[in-house]
Amino acid sequence: MPSTYIAGAGMVRFGKYDDTVSFERLAVQAGNAALADANARRPHIEAVFVGHVFGGPVAGQRVATELGLGGLPVSNHENYCASGATALREAWLAIAAGLYDVVLVLGVEKMTDRIKGGVAPDPSDLDAMHGFVMTAGHAMSAQRYMADHGASREQIAMVAVKNHAHSQHNPYAQYQRAVSLEEVLNARPVADPLGVLDCSPISDGAAAAVVCSPRGLQRLGIVGRRPEVRGIGLVSGTLRTGLYALNEEDISRRAGEQAYALAAIDPADIDFVEMHDCFTIAEIVRLEGLGLIPVGEGGRWTQEGATSLGGRLPVNPSGGLLSRGHPVGATGMAQVCELYWQLMGQAGGRQIEGARLAMSYCKGGTVSGTDGASVTTVVVSI
Amino acid sequence: MPSTYIAGAGMVRFGKYDDTVSFERLAVQAGNAALADANARRPHIEAVFVGHVFGGPVAGQRVATELGLGGLPVSNHENYCASGATALREAWLAIAAGLYDVVLVLGVEKMTDRIKGGVAPDPSDLDAMHGFVMTAGHAMSAQRYMADHGASREQIAMVAVKNHAHSQHNPYAQYQRAVSLEEVLNARPVADPLGVLDCSPISDGAAAAVVCSPRGLQRLGIVGRRPEVRGIGLVSGTLRTGLYALNEEDISRRAGEQAYALAAIDPADIDFVEMHDCFTIAEIVRLEGLGLIPVGEGGRWTQEGATSLGGRLPVNPSGGLLSRGHPVGATGMAQVCELYWQLMGQAGGRQIEGARLAMSYCKGGTVSGTDGASVTTVVVSI
C-alpha cells in the first residue's frame, strides 16, 4: 500500500476535567497542538477522522466546527477502546486510496461527564450482566496466569510500578508519580488479586495526529523524516475462549500477525511497545499473545526490568493506560502520539535512544467476549 | 481511484418490529440476503463495515458474530442519518487502498427500542433545545420556499403522493399504499404547513451490500456486469445559514460537486435519484441544492410528474424515506440497495428502464446546523 506518514502529533494532559471543559474543548486543544506540530494551517487539512465512544451522534462534526475545520468531510468511528486507532486506520486507508494528502485524526472522550459510574456492560453481554464485569475478568486472568506459569502476585504488581515510574517523565499523563511495590500490593482491593493500582482510571482526554501522503509532507513544507504508518491490524472476536483458556489471547495473536504482515516486519525487531494495559495483568498476557514475549515469561520479564525503560523491550514508556489514563476513545491516538514523539526523539526524560520501529496495541469490547471484541495494532517506523 | 463494485444487495422490510426482533437479527437477515445475492460464502468476506447511530458500542461486532463472520476486521461508523453511506465510503476506501477484495457493508437501526420518543436533540444544539426541532426547521423551510418561489402547499404535498405511489411496488417499504393529495393535505398537522404525511416515520430496519474489487468479483464467480461505485462525496457544515437562507442548501451543493468530480460525470446525465426525503420539502430543496433541478422549480417539477416514475428525472423510485421508512443508520444502505436493483434491472414494478447512472443522497446532523451536519452522496453506474 502507498506510504502514509505522521506529520505531527498533539494531546491534552489526560485527567478528570470538570463541566467547564467540554468534550469539544479537549478535542480542539489536542487538534490545535497536532496542527501546530505538523506546521499545518487549516487550509491544508482535507478531512477529519474522529474516534470516540460516548460523544454522541456527529460529535466529530461539532469538534471540526470548533476547530475551524467546519465544512470538511468528517466521520465518526467507534470500536470501543480501540476507537482512536480505528479512526487512524480509516485515515490511513483514505490516504492509501489516494483520496487525500493531509488529514487530521482525533481520539477524544469525556468519560467523567457521560459514564460517571464506569462503563456499563451491554445488555447482550450476559456474563457481565450477571457480575462478570471487566475487573472480574482480569482478576480471573491474573489467577489463571499465576496458576499456569508459577508467576507471583509481585510480578503482576510490578507492571504498575514500572508504568508509574515511566509516567514521571510524561507531562501528559494523568498520574505522574512513582508508586512502590508495597503501595500496589496494599492498595484497596478491587477483585482478588487486583487492587486499585492494578486498574486504569476513569479519564477525560484527547489526542491527535496529522497524517499525510508523501505529497502531503511536501505540502506542509516538512523536510526531515517523519514516522511512517507501516501497517494497521484490525480483528474482532472472542476475548476469552473459556475458563481454562482465559489467557490464550487468540485475538491479540491474530491482530499482531496481520500488522506484522502488512508492515513486512519481524516482531523481534520492534524497539518498544505502547500496550493496552487497562489492568496490570493485561499488559503481560497481551505481550505474550502478540508473540513479543514467550508465553509464561511476561511476569519474570517485568520483574527483571526487561520491559522497563532501558530494558530489552520497553513497554509503555508513556506510563500506559495505568498512569497516562484511559479516556477510551482517545487512548489509541495517545499511543500513536507516544510512538511519534519517541521515534522523533522528542520524548524527553522517557526517550528510548535509537528507537526506529514501534508498535501500539489497543483492545476494545465487552468482557465475556463471545462477541463484541475488537483489536487494533499499529506499526510505525522511522 | 481503483474500481469498486456492488456484487449483491439485500435488506429487510423496514417497519416497526417488537422486542422479539433485535437489532442484531435485523442486520443478520439483511447481511445474509446480500451474501446470497452476491453468491458469497462466509470465507469470501474479508471485513465488515457497519453504520448505525443507536446500536451502542461495538454493535457491529455483535452483528458480525451472529452472522457467522466473527473474527474479521469490523468497524462501526456514525454520521447520524448518513451513517450507512459513511460505512460504504469506508469500505470503498479500503478496497481502493488495496487492503480487501470482498467486504460486507451494513446499515442498521432499531429505533423503536432505543429512541421511543423520537430523536432527541444534542444538548449542544441550543436551537433544538429551545424548540426549533427538526420538524419545525423543515416547516420553516417549506414556508420560506413557498414565499420565495410562489410554490404551493399542494406542490410540496405531491412529494408524499408521488413517493407513496412508488412504494406500492417496493416489497421492502414500511408503507406500501398510495395516498391521495387530499389525504396529505388533511393529515394531522405537525408543524404548519407540514402534516404527518409530510414526515418520514420512526422505523426499524437493516440493509446491506457486498462490495468488491474487480478481483473480488472474479473470486465470487460473477461474470455479468455489476454497478460500480464511481464516487462518494462527504462534507460537513451548516444545514441552514440563516432564516433568509433556509433553503440555500450549500451543504448539498458541495457534497454533489465532490461526488460529480470524483465520478467524472455531468449531473445532467443522472438517470434517477434516491433522495433523503425525511420531509416532503427536503426532497425539493435538496434536489435543487444538488443542481439536479433549477432553484425554485422543484415544486412545479413534482406537480407535473417530472420526478415520478416515467418522468424526466425519477426521484425515490423506492418510495423514499417517507414510505420505505427511515431507520437512520440503515437508510444510506437501503438507498444503495435501490440503486443496485434498478441498475441490475431487478426493481420489478418500479423499474426505471435503461437506467445506467444513479445517485443517492443522505443527510445527517442536528437541526439548527451551526454544527454537526454531514452529507454523503453516492454515485453508481453500470
**β partners of residue A379:** A231, A359
What stretch of H or E contains B149? helix B134-149
CA B250 to chain CA centroid, Å, is 19
Distance, in Å, from the CA atom of B174 to the CA atom of B112, rounded to the nearest integer, reads 14
Beta strands in B111-147 (DSSP E): none
CB neighbour list of residue A38: distance below 8 Å, 6 or more residues apart: A7, A8, A210, A212, A220, A222
For residue A199, pLDDT beyond 80: yes
pLDDT digits (tens, 9 = 90+) for A44-74: 999 999 999 999 889 999 899 999 998 999 9
- Structure-block grid coordinates of residue B60: 457491529
Inter-CA distances, B349 with B31, B225, B314, B342, B345, Å: 24, 22, 14, 11, 11
For residue A115, pLDDT beyond 80: no
**β partners of residue B195:** B189
Taking CB atoms and an 8 Å limit, are A372 and B61 in contact across chains? Answer: yes
Pairing label, strands A357-364, A272-274: parallel
Taking CB atoms and an 8 Å limit, are A236 and B96 in contact across chains? Answer: no
- Structure-block grid coordinates of residue B88: 460504504
Taking CB atoms and an 8 Å limit, are A237 and B93 in contact across chains? Answer: no
For residue A235, pLDDT beyond 70: yes
Phi, psi dihedral angles at A207 (to 5 degrees): -145, 150
Taking CB atoms and an 8 Å limit, are B70 and A238 in contact across chains? Answer: yes
pLDDT digits (tens, 9 = 90+) for B264-309: 999 999 999 999 999 999 999 999 999 999 999 999 999 999 999 9
Interface of B with A in 112-151 (CB under 8 A): 122, 124
Of B75, B235, B374, the CB nearest to A58: B374
| A314 neighbors A270 (Cβ within 8 angstroms) | no
Domain boundaries, chain B: 5-115+203-229, 126-199+230-381
CB-based contact (8 Å) between B81 and chain A? Answer: no
Judging contacts by C-beta atoms under 8 Å, the chain A residues touching residue B76 are: 77-79
Taking CB atoms and an 8 Å limit, are A234 and B61 in contact across chains? Answer: no
Judging contacts by C-beta atoms under 8 Å, the chain A residues touching residue B236 are: 61, 64-65, 70-74
Architecture of domain A126-198+230-381: 3-Layer(aba) Sandwich (3.40)
Taking CB atoms and an 8 Å limit, are A24 and B90 in contact across chains? Answer: no
According to the model, what pLDDT value does residue B131 have? 78
- State the smallest CA–CA distance between residue B145 and chain A in angstroms: 24
Distance, in Å, from the CA atom of A250 to the CA atom of A231, rounded to the nearest integer, reads 19
Taking CB atoms and an 8 Å limit, are B73 and A98 in contact across chains? Answer: no
Q: Which residues of B are the active-site residues?
A: 81, 326
For an interface test with A, give the residue of B53, B61, B253 to mutate (most A CBs within 10 A).
B61
Residue-averaged pLDDT of chain B: 93
Helix (H, G, I), strand (E, B), or coil: what is residue A240? Answer: coil
Write down the H helix ranges in chain A.
23-37, 59-66, 83-96, 111-114, 126-129, 134-149, 153-167, 181-185, 214-219, 250-263, 280-289, 298-303, 320-324, 328-343
- State the smallest CA–CA distance between residue B308 and chain A in angstroms: 32
CB neighbour list of residue B217: distance below 8 Å, 6 or more residues apart: B5, B7, B226
DSSP class of A321: H
Distance, in Å, from the CA atom of A281 to the CA atom of A277, rounded to the nearest integer, reads 8
pLDDT digits (tens, 9 = 90+) for A132-143: 788 888 999 999
Cβ atoms within 10 A of the Cβ of B98, count? 15
| A246 neighbors A144 (Cβ within 8 angstroms) | yes
| B302 neighbors B159 (Cβ within 8 angstroms) | yes
Q: Searching chain A, which residue's CA lies closest to the CA of residue B119?
A: A57
Of B56, B64, B79, the CB nearest to A236: B64
Sign of dihedral through CA atoms B185, B191, B193, B197?
negative
pLDDT digits (tens, 9 = 90+) for A18-38: 999 999 999 999 999 999 999
Q: Is the pTM higher than 0.80? A: yes
Distance, in Å, from the CA atom of A25 to the CA atom of A20, rounded to the nearest integer, reads 9
Pairing label, strands A102-110, A74-78: unpaired
Question: Among A170-174, B199-203, B246-250, where is mean pLDDT lowest?
Answer: B246-250
| B169 neighbors B324 (Cβ within 8 angstroms) | no
Judging contacts by C-beta atoms under 8 Å, the chain B residues touching residue A372 are: 57-58, 61-62, 65
Interface predicted TM-score (ipTM): 0.95
Between the two ends of chain A, the Cα-to-Cα distance in Å is 17
Distance, in Å, from the CA atom of B60 to the CA atom of B208, rounded to the nearest integer, reads 13
Whether A81 is a known active-site residue: answer: yes
CATH superfamily, domain A5-115+203-229, is Thiolase/Chalcone synthase (3.40.47.10)
Judging contacts by C-beta atoms under 8 Å, the chain A residues touching residue B78 are: 57-58, 76-78
From B40, B32, B375, select the one nearest B232 (Cα to Cα): B375
Residue-averaged pLDDT of chain A: 93
- Report whether CATH 3.50.50.60 matches the domain B126-199+230-381: no
Interface of B with A in 24-63 (CB under 8 A): 24, 47, 53, 56-58, 61-62
Rounded to 10 deg, the angle between the A23-37 and A59-66 helix axes is 60
Please tell me which residue, A240 or A90, carries the higher pLDDT value: A90
CB-based contact (8 Å) between A238 and chain B? Answer: yes
- Structure-block grid coordinates of residue A189: 482491593
